[in-house]
C-alpha cells in the first residue's frame, strides 16, 4: 500500500464513501460522549483498525465535550474517505480569542464546575491534534469554532 | 458444536424458545432459531446471565463429575473464597475445609494467602509500570473475555499477573508431586467455583497455555453435601494459613482493600463496567492507577453458582473477618523473591477477539451499513425479540450478514398479510 494522499489537501473534490452528521447541544452534559460512542460503533462495523478507532474516538470525545462546555450548539460531521476518517466539528458559540494559547497544554478557560467534573486540564485541543494525522482549526470570537481533523487508516478500499 | 469450550449447556428439551435469555445476554450472543436458543460461541463471555434468567432451568453449568475425580491418584479441592461465605458463623472456614475432605477430596488447598500475595505483586507492578493507565485486574474471567471482545484496545491495560486460583494450583501441584512422588498429571486439582466464567477459564484459559486446574465443581452443587458432612461428621481443620486480607477477594472492593496503592476504583456489575470501560477507552480515568472490576454486581459472592444470596454472603464474610482477625499472613520478602522468579507472570499473550465488521472490504462494509440502516427504518423498533434476535438493530445486522431474513420480524409479516387482503379479488376456494 502506498501512503494515503492527505484528505485535507486543498479541498479538492474528494470521494466521500460514507458520511453522517450528529448534533451536539451546548451544556448537555447528560448526553456528553454519546456522539463519540456512536461514531465509534459505526467505525467498528466498517472494520477500521483498532488504533485508528481509538484515536478518532479520543479526538471526538474531546471535541464533543468542548462543544458541550463552551458552545450553544454544534455538529459533528463524520466522513469516511479513501485515506481514512475525516471529522468536522463546527459550533455556534463564544469562539477562541487566541488559538495559539488554547493549543498549548495546560491552558484552559474551564470554570471551577467543569474542573470539578474532571475537565479543564487544558488538554482538549492538544489531545485532538496529537491523536490526528491532520488538524486544522478556525475560530471567530462571538461566532464559533470549526475543527477539522483526519485520522489516516489504511483499508482495503484503497487497493 | 462438539468441541465447545463454553461452560453453559442448553438443554434442548427444556428450552421453549421464550427469548428471555436472548434479551438478557450482555454481548447479544443468543438467537432463538426453531424455538431453541442458540449461542454464538465467538461472542459468549460465560457470564452466566442466561442461566440466571432462564425461567425453565434449561441452561446448566458444565461442571466436573465424580468420574473426572477418579482419573487421578490424588485429588485436591481448591475452594473459591466465596465458598466460606456461604455458611454462617456456626460453620467457619476450618469446618468447611474439613467437610470437603470428608466428602472425598484427599486434600483442600486454601487460596486466601495467594490472594494476599497477588495483591502485593500487583502493587509492585503498579509502581514499576509505565502505563497505559489505568491498569485493570484480571481476576474476573468474564471481564477479561469482555475486554477481548468489546474493548480490545484495553488489553494493554490488563495487569499481566496470573490469578490466585491458577497460581495456587500451579504451586501446590509442583510441591505435591515432589512430596508424594507422583507424576504431576496424577494429581487432580478441582476448583470449587462461584461462577461459570471460571469453568470456562479452566477449559479455555486466557493468558495461559493450559490451566493449572483440572476441573471445577459448583458451590451450588457442593452446598448440600457439605452442609450434611458438617452436621454428620463435625470437625475442623487448622486455618493458620487463612488470610483475612485474601478472604476479602470474595467481595467487590476486596482486592484493592489489601493493596498499598490507594489510587484505585472498584467497578461493580456489567452495567457499570460498560459505563466505565467506554470512558477508559475514550481516555478518561487516565489518572487512576488500578481498576478492579467484576461482571457480577458484588463480585464473586454474587456469582451465579452460589447458594447464599450476596447480602447474606457478605454478612457471613464480615463475621469471619472479625473472628479470624486482620493480620498480614504473607511476608513481603516472599513476594519479592517470587517476583524475581517471574512466578506471577501471565504465561501467554492475551489476544483481541474483536467483533467482526460487516465486511472485510471497506466499500462492501459501507454498502452493508447503508442496507442495515434502511432495514432498521422498516423495522418497528419495539425490540420485542419475537424474531429470535434480541432487538431490531441486531436483526438488521443479522439480515445484512445473511444470518436472518427481514420476514423473521412478526410485524413485517403482519403488514405483508394486511396488504394482501384487500387486493384479494378472486374468490377463495375450498
The reply to whether A9 falls in a domain is no
**How confident is the model over A80-109, as pLDDT tens digits?**
998 899 999 999 998 988 888 888 877 777
pLDDT value of residue B1: 36
Range with the poorest average pLDDT among A32-41, B291-300, B398-407: A32-41
The reply to whether A109 falls in a domain is yes
Placement of cell 486454601 in the chain: B110
Q: How far apart are CA B317 and CA A119, in angstroms?
A: 39
Range with the poorest average pLDDT among A73-82, B233-242, B289-298: B233-242
pLDDT value of residue B426: 59
Gap from B362 CA to chain A (nearest CA, Å): 5
State the best of B154, B283, B355, B367 to mutate against chain A, taking most chain A CBs within 10 Å: B283
In the predicted model, is pLDDT for residue A19 greater than 70?
Answer: yes
Predicted confidence band of residue A33 (pLDDT cuts 50, 70, 90): confident
The reply to whether A62 falls in a domain is yes
The answer to whether the CB atoms of B282 and A36 lie below 8 A apart is yes
Q: What is the mean pLDDT of residues B153-157?
A: 93
Per the prediction, chain B carries an average pLDDT of 91
Q: List Cβ neighbours of B8 (8 Å cut-off, separation of 6 or more).
A: B39, B44, B46, B48, B50, B51, B59, B60, B61, B62, B196
**Listed residue (B70, B64, B63) closest to B106, CA to CA:** B70
The reply to whether A74 falls in a domain is yes
In the predicted model, is pLDDT for residue B84 greater than 60?
Answer: yes
Q: How far apart are CA B230 and CA B234, in angstroms?
A: 5
Q: List Cβ neighbours of B389 (8 Å cut-off, separation of 6 or more).
A: B22, B28, B31, B395, B398, B404, B408
pLDDT value of residue B411: 95
Which CATH number fits the domain that encloses residue A124? 3.30.565.10
The reply to whether A142 falls in a domain is yes
pLDDT value of residue A77: 98
The answer to whether the CB atoms of A18 and B153 lie below 8 A apart is no
Pair type for strands A84-93 and A71-81: antiparallel
The answer to whether the CB atoms of B361 and A157 lie below 8 A apart is yes
Of A18, A57, A62, the CB nearest to B281: A57
pLDDT value of residue A2: 43
Of A45, A51, A157, the CB nearest to B363: A157
The model carries a pTM of 0.85
- How much of chain B, in percent, has pLDDT values that exceed 70? 96
In the predicted model, is pLDDT for residue B96 greater than 50?
Answer: yes
B contacts of A47 (beta carbons < 8 Å)? 357-360, 362, 365
pLDDT value of residue B111: 94
The reply to whether A30 falls in a domain is yes
pLDDT value of residue B22: 96
Q: What is the mean pLDDT of residues B174-194?
A: 96
CB-based burial label for B417 (10 Å; 0-12, 13-18, 19+): exposed
The reply to whether A64 falls in a domain is yes
Interface of A with B in 107-146 (CB under 8 A): 118, 127
Q: Are B292 and B256 in contact (CB under 8 A)?
A: yes
Bond from prior residue into B7 cis (ω within 30 degrees of 0): no
Gap from B29 CA to chain A (nearest CA, Å): 16
Residue B153 at interface with chain A, using a CB cutoff of 8 Å: yes
Tell me how many domains chain A contains: 1
Residue in chain B closest to A156 (alpha carbons) equals B361
In the predicted model, is pLDDT for residue A1 greater than 50?
Answer: no
Q: Residue A67's domain spans which residues?
A: 16-158
Ramachandran category for residue A84: left, alpha or beta (phi over 0 → left; psi -120 to 50 → alpha): left
pLDDT value of residue A115: 66
A148 pairs with which residues across the strands? A88, A136
Q: How far apart are CA A66 and CA A120, in angstroms?
A: 10
- Other CB atoms within a 10 A radius of the CB of residue B374 amount to 11
Residue in chain B closest to A63 (alpha carbons) equals B282
A contacts of B361 (beta carbons < 8 Å)? 156-157
CB pairs under 8 A between A and B: 62
φ and ψ at residue A103, rounded to 5 degrees: -80, -5
State the best of A16, A19, A41, A47 to mutate against chain B, taking most chain B CBs within 10 Å: A47
pLDDT value of residue B424: 54
Domains and CATH numbers, chain B: 1-55 (3.30.70.20), 66-340 (3.40.50.1780), 361-430 (1.10.15)
**How confident is the model over B288-307, as pLDDT tens digits?**
999 999 999 999 999 999 99
φ and ψ at residue B294, rounded to 5 degrees: -130, 140
Predicted confidence band of residue B333 (pLDDT cuts 50, 70, 90): confident
Q: What is the mean pLDDT of residues A63-70?
A: 92
A contacts of B283 (beta carbons < 8 Å)? 58, 61-62, 127
Q: What is the mean pLDDT of residues B71-95?
A: 94
Amino acid at each position: 500500500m502506498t501512503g494515503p494522499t492527505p484528505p485535507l489537501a486543498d479541498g479538492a473534490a474528494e470521494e466521500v464513501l460514507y458520511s453522517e452528521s450528529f448534533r451536539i447541544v451546548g451544556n448537555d452534559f447528560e448526553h456528553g460522549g454519546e456522539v463519540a460512542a456512536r461514531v465509534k460503533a459505526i467505525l467498528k462495523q466498517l472494520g477500521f483498525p483498532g488504533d485508528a478507532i481509538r484515536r478518532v474516538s479520543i479526538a471526538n470525545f474531546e471535541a464533543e465535550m468542548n462543544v458541550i462546555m463552551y458552545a450553544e450548539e454544534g455538529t459533528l460531521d463524520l466522513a469516511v474517505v479513501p485515506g481514512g476518517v475525516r471529522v468536522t466539528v463546527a459550533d455556534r458559540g463564544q469562539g477562541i480569542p487566541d488559538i495559539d494559547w488554547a493549543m498549548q497544554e495546560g491552558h484552559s478557560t474551564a470554570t471551577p464546575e467543569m474542573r470539578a467534573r474532571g475537565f479543564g486540564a487544558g488538554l482538549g485541543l492538544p489531545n485532538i491534534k496529537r491523536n490526528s494525522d491532520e488538524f486544522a482549526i478556525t475560530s471567530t470570537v462571538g461566532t464559533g469554532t470549526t475543527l477539522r481533523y483526519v485520522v489516516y487508516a489504511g483499508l482495503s478500499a484503497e487497493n | 458444536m462438539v468441541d465447545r469450550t463454553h461452560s453453559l449447556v442448553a438443554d434442548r428439551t427444556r428450552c421453549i424458545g421464550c427469548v428471555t435469555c436472548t434479551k438478557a445476554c450482555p454481548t447479544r450472543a443468543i438467537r432463538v432459531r426453531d424455538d431453541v436458543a442458540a449461542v454464538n460461541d465467538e461472542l459468549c463471555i460465560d457470564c452466566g446471565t442466561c442461566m440466571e434468567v432462564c425461567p425453565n432451568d434449561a441452561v446448566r453449568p458444565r461442571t466436573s463429575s465424580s468420574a473426572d475425580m477418579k482419573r487421578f491418584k490424588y485429588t485436591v479441592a481448591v475452594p473459591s473464597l466465596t465458598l466460606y461465605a456461604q455458611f454462617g458463623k456456626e460453620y467457619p472456614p476450618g469446618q468447611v475445609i474439613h467437610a470437603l475432605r470428608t466428602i472425598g477430596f484427599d486434600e483442600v488447598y486454601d487460596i486466601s494467602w495467594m490472594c494476599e500475595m497477588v495483591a502485593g505483586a500487583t502493587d509492585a507492578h503498579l509502581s514499576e509500570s509505565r502505563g497505559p493507565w489505568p491498569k485493570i485486574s484480571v481476576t474476573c474471567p468474564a471481564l477479561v473475555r469482555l475486554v477481548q471482545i468489546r474493548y480490545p484496545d484495553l488489553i494493554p491495560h490488563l495487569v499481566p499477573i496470573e490469578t490466585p486460583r491458577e497460581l495456587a494450583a500451579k504451586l501446590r501441584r509442583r510441591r505435591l508431586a515432589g512430596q508424594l512422588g507422583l507424576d504431576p498429571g496424577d494429581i487432580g486439582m478441582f476448583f470449587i467455583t462461584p461462577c461459570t466464567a471460571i469453568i470456562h477459564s479452566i477449559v479455555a484459559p486466557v493468558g495461559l497455555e493450559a490451566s493449572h486446574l483440572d476441573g471445577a465443581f459448583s458451590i451450588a452443587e457442593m452446598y448440600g453435601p457439605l452442609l450434611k458432612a458438617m452436621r454428620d461428621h463435625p470437625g475442623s481443620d487448622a486455618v493458620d494459613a487463612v488470610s483475612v486480607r485474601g478472604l476479602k477477594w470474595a467481595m467487590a472492593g476486596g482486592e484493592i482493600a489489601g493493596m498499598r496503592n490507594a489510587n484505585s476504583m472498584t467497578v461493580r456489575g456489567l452495567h457499570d463496567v460498560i459505563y466505565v470501560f467506554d470512558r477508559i477507552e475514550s481516555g478518561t480515568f487516565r489518572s487512576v492507577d488500578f481498576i478492579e472490576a467484576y461482571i457480577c454486581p458484588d463480585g464473586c459472592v454474587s456469582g451465579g453458582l452460589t447458594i447464599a444470596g450476596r447480602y447474606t454472603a457478605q454478612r457471613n464474610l464480615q463475621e469471619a473477618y472479625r473472628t479470624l482477625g486482620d493480620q498480614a499472613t504473607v511476608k513481603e520478602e516472599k513476594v519479592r523473591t517470587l517476583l524475581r522468579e517471574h512466578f506471577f507472570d501471565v504465561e501467554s499473550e492475551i489476544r483481541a477477539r474483536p467483533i467482526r465488521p460487516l465486511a472485510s472490504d471497506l466499500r462492501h462494509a459501507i454498502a452493508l451499513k447503508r442496507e442495515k440502516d434502511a432495514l432498521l427504518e422498516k423495522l418497528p423498533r419495539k425490540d420485542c425479540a419475537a424474531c429470535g434476535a434480541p432487538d431490531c438493530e441486531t436483526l438488521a445486522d443479522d439480515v445484512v450478514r445473511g444470518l436472518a431474513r427481514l420476514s423473521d420480524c412478526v410485524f413485517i409479516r403482519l403488514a405483508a398479510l394486511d396488504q394482501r387482503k384487500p387486493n384479494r379479488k378472486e374468490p377463495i376456494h375450498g
